[in-house]
Structure 1
Amino acid sequence: MHRYLLFVFVVSFLAGCTYTAKITDGATAVDRKQYDVAVPMLQREYKRAKTRGEQGAIAMDLAVSYRETGNDDQAAEWFQTAYDNGVGPDALRERAEALKRLERYEDAIQTFTDLGFEIGSRYEFRKDIAGAEMAMRLMAEREAQEVKEYEVTPAGFNSPGADYAAVSYDDRLVFTSDRAAATGEDTYNWTGRSFSDLFLVDPEVSDVQAFNPTVNSESNEGTPTFSPDGNVMYFTRCTAPEKRADAYCGIYRSERQGEGWGPAEKLPFVTPDANYMHPALSEDGRRMVFSANLSEGWGGYDLYEVEMGPEGQWGTPDLMNRAINTDGNEQFPYLDADTLYFASDGLEGLGGLDIFRTWPMGDGRYSAPKNLKLPINSGADDFAYSIVRRDGTGIGSTTTGYFSSSRPGGAGSDDIYAYTKTVLPPPPPDPTPIEYRNVLDVTVVEKIYEDPTDPSSRVLGLRPVPNATVVARVGEQSRTVATNEEGVLSLVLTDDQRYEFRAERPDYLAAQGRFSSRNLPRDPDDPEQRYELELEIEKIFRNREIVLENIYYDLDESFIREDAQPTLNELAELLRQNPDISIELGSHTDCRATDRYNETLSEARATAAVTYLVEQGISAERLTARGYGETQPVADCICERCTEAQHQLNRRTTFRILE
């Protein structure tokens, strides 16, 4: 998912606004995420390019810029141009994704299939192909329907900007937009538009007004939810980054004060090391569901729920179960009584984010999430479903509301759509006795490297590893089995168990994974549910340098900064899982400063990394620190002529597995 509008990637785009130096070429504009600025520059540069390699690189940057500014038609064409000029499978992958968002499903399936052959594994794209095939099937079914469940029309108040997440507020709507009327004079060069604010509208006359100057600020605000009496509002705010710090999104609370709103305060359970967003309140206002990317989650953004205590204070959030959360992104929850609507790109869908609904069953479990299908979902991102009004009950009754989509044909990059849902007669009952089964497919996979001999080369995708050993543990019991020729081990799950898995193969680093069968759904409409778990094992490349990403140091310092700790924690976990290997931690500097200074500094930095790992419980006997100074640059440039990007490549922390 590449949509900047979903508050998912606000962290990176806010940081992109801190640059003040004049941008003179398209590649720099793309690097600084100023995509709207990059497009005309890259178009001129492509015409002047003299070699196929230059054309390919410029075409790729131009395609990315079109993608990030919501122009998938142009993006698809320029990704093809980049691929034709030798960029490689990344361009083909991006083209396939753009074709899917454009609902050109046959072309997308063919491109994904070609891509699978090119990288040597169709496994990587099986979900994409299945989703496109499902979309084509649903389109045919909808054409055959005499009475349609949903009718959809674009809202009259959409703008050329991004408009999304409309919810009821008194007799009007509040929605999120980055239209020109948003607060602040700065233009966000990612899109060429403003930062996002909350707006009010009467949908009957489309008279859009700014929501409130106390709530709207020069930061990004959006995705509000209101208490039952309308006097308390919770919303997402993403603040600008401080110096040398990441920016994070949080959930804020504001109380109504007369005709306005009071200062917003961040909720107490919001921690400073993750993004919290998209709050949704229950009918009584005492339960909240939200999205966050905490480390304890299943992957990407997950949904959490939290209860309000008797004193009006929010408790500790709980991660919602595996029936709802996936290794993808779950976002934009909305509560309608006991029914939960949410968007996900990890469940089987038509493309991008799709909208699903689920509800608690009689035994406290949630039903299997139901895809709302066409025309609510599309090949693009569809999200932020809400209900405004109900008319009647039973067959023929209607529900009206809104959802958001980046589908083609709208007024802007994201648009708000009104829907009317009609209750249709139910299908005849099936007399067959129901047998419930939950099945977990554990797949052992490995990376496909562009250069099979170099673990630092580009990763093209994943492929299954046949005949790998998997140790499955449930409680005190364990069992050792082998994957089949497709690299898969299928298990019928027992309810309310915690499963732990360890995948092993000679000459590979072991990998571990977990799965909980607690409260998995029992859905009469879909009695067999299948889940997937990937265990990614790494081929051992002895005495080959592997770069550790996101290890940074302050100028002239060697201590381990807080933002470097997650990467070193992952390395510590890898060492715990593979107790028989020893590694060398290496630190490299760029060519600036003296040889002696760089050797001393790099040795201190490597030693600091080793010390940190020892503090995490790794035996010092397994660790060697070595400072290389500037002696092993990876960027081929004369020191005085190296760009800042090349200097950054040379400033790196690495590890190698020793013989």
Structure 2
Amino acid sequence: MRFTWLALFALLSISSCTYTAKVTDGATAVDRKQYDVAIPMLQREFKKAKTRSVKGEVAMNLGTSYRETGNDEEAITWFQKAYDNNAGPDALREKAAALKRLERYEEAIQVYTDLGFEIGSRYEFRKEIQGAELAQKWKDQETEGKERPYTVQAANFNSRGADYAPVYFENQLIFSSDRQGGDGAENYKWTGRGFTDIYQTSVTGGAVTSFSDVINTPDHEGTPSFSADGQQVYFTRCVSPGKREDAFCGIYVSERNGGGWGPATKLPFVKPGVNYLHPAISATGDRLYFSALMEDGWGGYDIYVVNKKVDGTWSDPILMNRAINTQGNEQFPTLDADTLYFASDGLVGMGGLDIYMTHPMANGRYSAPKNLGIPVNSGADDFSYTIVKRMGSGLDEKVLGFFSTARPGGAGADDIYEFARRTLPPPPPDPTPIVYKNVLDVTVVEKILEDPADPQSRVRGLRPVPNATIVASIGAESRTVTTNEEGQLSLVLVDNQNYQFRAERDGYLAAEGVFSSRNLPKDPDAPEQRYELELEIEKIFLNAEIVLENIYYDFDESFIREDAQPTLNELASLLQRNPNINIELGSHTDCQGPEGYNQRLSQDRAQSAVNYLIERGIDGNRLTARGYGETQPVAECVCQRCTDEENQRNRRTTFRIVE
């Protein structure tokens, strides 16, 4: 699944000209997410490499390419070779994750433990180790013959491609696939296979045919969800490279048109520049769940819901709370009556995405998400759980359905598996009174830099900051506490409150965070729940240049483009959180053009950035604009011989804290 919907937006957001240029080396192919193209190039380059550093870079790219094309066994080999050739702890991190996906949990735990010692932070890998320990415990119980509710087997219609997201509709199983024979005119260079389309087959297997020649296009379509009356289908469409103006995934709807389907329209709440995936419509048709990557989320992809109003329009997206969403990715929501199934890699699980279930309780709460465990979940990505049929009732009930998985041993990449679930006798009642408690662990952390004296050096991980100050506020009330040696404050939450936190320490930039305890679960099966919030403070490096990413200007212009505004908005927020610092905003050009012209242009651009911050409420006395022209290049090249990439590195906007 790693090469289908999870990271598709990263490819689609790149300009079409990137893909028309010929790829001549493995690193460029990886940079352009053409992993299938990259592998043979990189293998040749590794054999020719003369130094350990070059071998390490090539091996790291090979490990990444095998990971993204679903071959974790090969990925492990190449990540180890990368580490052996000075690629650093990132290679071991990737190796450990691949070991976990392959359910080699004891090996993964050892690698994560070694990594913690190497980067100087056990904290960084605590959840990965905890998940691996839990998964190993479940596997041991499996071998002990512990009774389980599920039996699973691969469906008989899987292909060598990626088959996933099954859903039941009118006695047919509708699913997504990039198998051969789709509507895409060429192969998708990420995977070397086709673009994704929607297909149909019998629930018992058999011939596989295209679901609709109107809905399926040369772009990516998938993850359909049908209204209860069968008159609407909601699905995801991701526009292919070459159409930059629409280069994101959105949710579309098509209306039944006689025996077929009409042209699809994008839902009105879908905004440009945001990825919307995996719609799931409720049986009543008035609630639509989906996964999206938005600024107001908790981190990664989150699950949202929109409500249909009386006039038939949709509400704005509502972010589901921290009982469901985490700092990781929550995706592939599906519904069975009022029970919500979804996949997450942010909750403690067995490896990649695991499938969880939750259901609404009183007062708008949801039950604590429950991991479906072995054999539905595995070390690999498991997702898209759907129920097809129920038989019997009570302890005699049997439920049949399907889910998707990237586990080894299948027909291809992602595969669709059948499941049968029976009801186990409940455990004897516990007479102990239930005491509900929600605990929030707030941890103040800082980056571990490869070069502790250089804020621009590579980040190796995060470590807790002991003895930091946290100001915790609920409305007008606040209290100040000092973190323990683990950089942590543990707080028993008051129900239905909005918390605000501010972390401070001398010599660091302050950080802020929020947490809502509204509608957190009160689940008798899991009466105590723990949540996490990280507050990342950054060490102050006086007069150290920090490059502001994604700030570009039109040729011969100095105005702030729309795509530069998010970065400057983040800088404005940092200045608002830290009112005692003053900064210099610098602008640099490459060496093309006359020196005097470059100097004037860079000064105008720096001033435009300062003016933008002033418009956002920052006191102009705290800001200095300085144009450096071409006087401080960072790329070591003779001007006339600088490549386009080196010129781009020299064209940059920076800031430095001056006091």
Q: TM-score, normalised by structure 2?
A: 0.98
**CA deviation digits over 1:277-332, x for unaligned, max 9?**
11101112221111111211111111111221223222222111111111111111
- The alpha carbon displacement at 1:646 in A equals 2.2
Shift of 1:184: 2.1
Residues in 2 aligned to 1:510 and 1:335: alpha-carbon distance in whole angstroms:
41
| Contact 1:503–1:512 (CA under 8 A) maintained in structure 2 | yes
CA positional deviation for 1:244: 6.2
Note if 1:195 corresponds to 2:201: no
**Does residue 64 of structure 2 align to residue 52 of structure 1?**
no
* Structure 2 residue aligned with 1:9: 8
Tell me how far apart the structure 2 counterparts of residues 450 and 468 of structure 1 sit (CA, whole Å): 23
5+ unaligned residues in a row in structure 1: which ranges? none
Q: Answer whether contact 2:16 2:243 (CA < 8 A) is retained.
A: no
Question: In the alignment, which residue of structure 2 is the partner of 1:82?
Answer: 82
Contact 1:333-1:342 within 8 A present in 2 as well: yes
Question: What's the counterpart of residue 28 of structure 2?
Answer: 28
Matched residue, 1:519: 519
Contact 1:333 1:384 in 2 (8 A): yes
Between stretches 158-167 and 556-565, larger displacement belongs to 556-565
Q: 2:489 matched to which residue of 1?
A: 489
**1:245 Cα deviation after fit:** 4.9
Deviation (angstroms), 1:7: 4.6
Contact 1:328–1:346 (CA under 8 A) maintained in structure 2: yes
Q: Which moved more, 1:399-408 or 1:454-463?
A: 399-408
Deviations 1:442-483 (A, max 9, x none): 000000000000000000110000010000101111100000
Structure 2 counterparts to residues 180-191 of structure 1, below 5 A: 180-191=180-191
Whole-angstrom distance in 2 between the partners of 1:366 and 1:536: 29
SS in 1 for 2:551: coil
Quick one: which amino acid aligns to residue 461 of structure 1? G
Cα deviation digits, residues 609-628 of structure 1 (max 9, x gap): 11111111111111111111
Please tell me whether the aligned partners of residues 11 and 249 of structure 1 are also in contact (alpha carbons under 8 angstroms): no
The equivalent of 2:541 in structure 1 is 541
Equivalent pair of 1:291/1:303 in contact (CA under 8 Å): yes
Question: Could you tell me which residue of structure 2 aligns to residue 226 of structure 1?
Answer: 226
Moved runs in structure 1, 4+ residues, more than 6 A? Answer: none
Please give the secondary structure, in 1, of the residue aligned with 2:362: coil
Deviates more, 1:378-387 or 1:634-643: 634-643
**Range moving further from structure 2, 238-247 or 625-634:** 238-247
Alignment partner, residue 600 of structure 2: 600
Deviations 1:584-603 (A, max 9, x none): 11111222222222222221
How much is the aligned-residue C-alpha RMSD, in angstroms?
Answer: 1.5
Residue matched to 1:613: 613
1:13 and 1:190 in contact (8 A); partners too: no
Greater CA deviation, 306-315 or 377-386?
A: 306-315
Unaligned runs of 5+ in 2: none
**Equivalent runs, 1:200-215 vs 2, <5 Å:** 200-215=200-215
What residue identity is the alignment partner of 1:375?
P
For residues 499-537 of structure 1, the C-alpha deviation after alignment (integer angstroms, 9 at most, x for no partner) is: 000000001000000000001101111111111000000
Stretch of structure 1 that moved more, 170-179 or 589-598: 589-598
Q: Distance in 2 between matches of 1:533 and 1:462?
A: 13
Corresponding position: 1:325 with 2:325:
yes
Residues 427-438 of structure 1: pairs in structure 2 closer than 5 A = 427-438=427-438
Distance 1:154 1:262, change over 3 A: same
Taking the aligned partners of 1:48 and 1:587, their CA distance within structure 2 comes to 40
CA contact (8 A) 2:280 2:333 kept: yes
Native 8 Å contact 1:396 1:424 kept in 2: no
Instruction: Tell me how far apart the structure 2 counterparts of residues 144 and 364 of structure 1 sit (CA, whole Å).
Output: 40
Equivalent position amino acid for 2:526 in 1: D
Pick which of 238-247 and 426-435 moved more: 238-247
Q: 1:97 to 1:13 in 2, by over 3 A?
A: farther
8 Å contact from structure 2 (residues 34, 190) kept in 1: yes
Give the whole-Å Cα distance in 2 for the aligned partners of 1:79 and 1:203: 40
* Contact kept in structure 2, 1:33 and 1:189, CA below 8 Å: yes
Alpha-carbon separation, structure 2, partners of 1:437 and 1:220 = 44
- What is the aligned partner in structure 2 of residue 414 from structure 1? 414
Report the secondary structure of 1:573's partner residue.
Answer: helix
Q: Which residue does 1:274 correspond to in 2?
A: 274
Contact 2:589-2:652 at 8 Å conserved across structures: yes
Within 5 A, what are the aligned runs for 1:446-465? 446-465=446-465
8 Å CA contact 1:560–1:608 kept in 2: the answer is yes
* Residue 300 of structure 1 pairs with residue 314 of structure 2: no
Whole-Å separation in 1 of the counterparts to 2:80 and 2:171: 48
**2:550 maps to which residue?**
550
- Whether the aligned pair in 2 keeps the contact of 1:585 and 1:655 (CA below 8 Å) is yes
SS at match of 1:131: helix
User: 1:400–1:420: 8 Å Cα contact kept in structure 2?
Assistant: yes
Q: Quote how far apart the aligned CAs of 1:14 are.
A: 6.2
User: Aligned letter for 2:249?
Assistant: C
Which residue in the other structure is 1:566 paired with? 566
User: Is 1:655 paired with 2:655?
Assistant: yes
- The 2-side partners of 1:541 and 1:489 are apart by 27
Amino acid corresponding to residue 118 of structure 1 in structure 2: E
Q: Distance in 2 between matches of 1:460 and 1:595?
A: 39
The structure-2 alpha-carbon separation of the partners of 1:114 and 1:525, relative to structure 1 and needing over 3 Å to count, comes to: same
| Partner deviation per Cα, 1:48-87 (whole Å, 9 max, x = no partner) | 1111111111111111111111111101110000000001
1:151-190 paired onto structure 2 within 5 Å: 151-190=151-190
2:91 maps to which residue? Answer: 91
**Distance in 1 between residues matched to 2:116 and 2:200, nearest whole Å:** 47
Helix, strand or coil at the partner of 1:552: coil
Distance 2:35 2:204 in 1: 35
Question: Does the Cα contact within 8 Å between 2:334 and 2:342 map onto a contact in 1?
Answer: yes
| Counterpart residue type for residue 330 of structure 1 | E
- 2:15–2:241 Cα contact (<8 Å) kept: no
Matched, 1:130 2:124: no
Distance 1:334 1:510 in 2: 40
Superposed displacement of residue 10, structure 1: 2.9
Three-state SS of the structure 2 residue aligned to 1:580 is coil
Alignment-mate amino acid for residue 15 of structure 1: I
Does structure 1 conserve the Cα–Cα contact (< 8 Å) formed by 2:223 and 2:279?
yes
Q: Quick check: 46-55 or 442-451, which moved more?
A: 46-55
Report the AA paired with residue 190 of structure 1: W
Q: Quick one: distance in 1 between partners of 2:545 and 2:360?
A: 50
Contact 2:12 2:240 in 1 (8 A): no
Tell me, in whole angstroms, the C-alpha distance in 2 between the residues paired with 1:267 and 1:44. 47
The separation in 1 between residues aligned to 2:421 and 2:471, in whole angstroms, is: 48
1:146 CA drift (Å)? 4.9
SS at match of 1:30: helix
Which residue does the alignment assign to 2:285?
A: 285
Partners of 2:262 and 2:356 in 1: how far apart? 34
The 3 A distance-change label for structure 1 pair 549 and 14 is closer
Q: Would the aligned equivalents of 1:633 and 1:650 in 2 still touch at CA under 8 Å?
A: yes
**What secondary structure is seen at the aligned counterpart in 2 of 1:529?**
strand
Matched position secondary structure for 2:396:
coil
Alpha-carbon separation, structure 2, partners of 1:361 and 1:21: 54
d(CA) in 2 for partners of 1:555, 1:406: 46
Measure the CA separation in 1 of the matches of 2:243 and 2:562.
Answer: 14
1:241, 1:9 → 2: CA distance?
11
Partner deviation per Cα, 1:234-259 (whole Å, 9 max, x = no partner): 10111136676572211101001112
Partners of 1:605 and 1:4 in 2: CA distance: 39
- For the structure 1 residues 619 and 93, does the alpha-carbon distance in structure 2 shift closer, same or farther, using more than 3 Å as the test? same
Deviations 1:557-600 (A, max 9, x none): 22111111111111100000000001011111222222222222
Query: Which residue in 1 is equivalent to 2:439?
Result: 439
Supply the distance in 2 between the matched residues of 1:96 and 1:61 (Cα, whole angstroms): 16
Aligned mates of 2:242, 2:161 — CA distance in 1: 27
Between the two proteins, the alignment pairs up a number of residues equal to 658
Answer whether contact 1:11 1:247 (CA < 8 A) is retained.
no
Provide Cα deviations, 1:171-195, integer angstroms capped at 9, x if missing partner.
Answer: 1111111111111212111111111
Question: Contact 1:500 / 1:514 at 8 angstroms: preserved in 2?
Answer: yes
1:5 match: secondary structure: coil
**Equivalent residues of 1:583, 1:624 under 8 A apart:** yes
Per-residue deviation, residues 337-361 of structure 1 (Å, max 9, x unmatched): 1111011111111111111101112
SS at structure 2 position matched to 1:395 = helix
Amino acid at match of 1:4: F
Shift of 1:97: 0.8
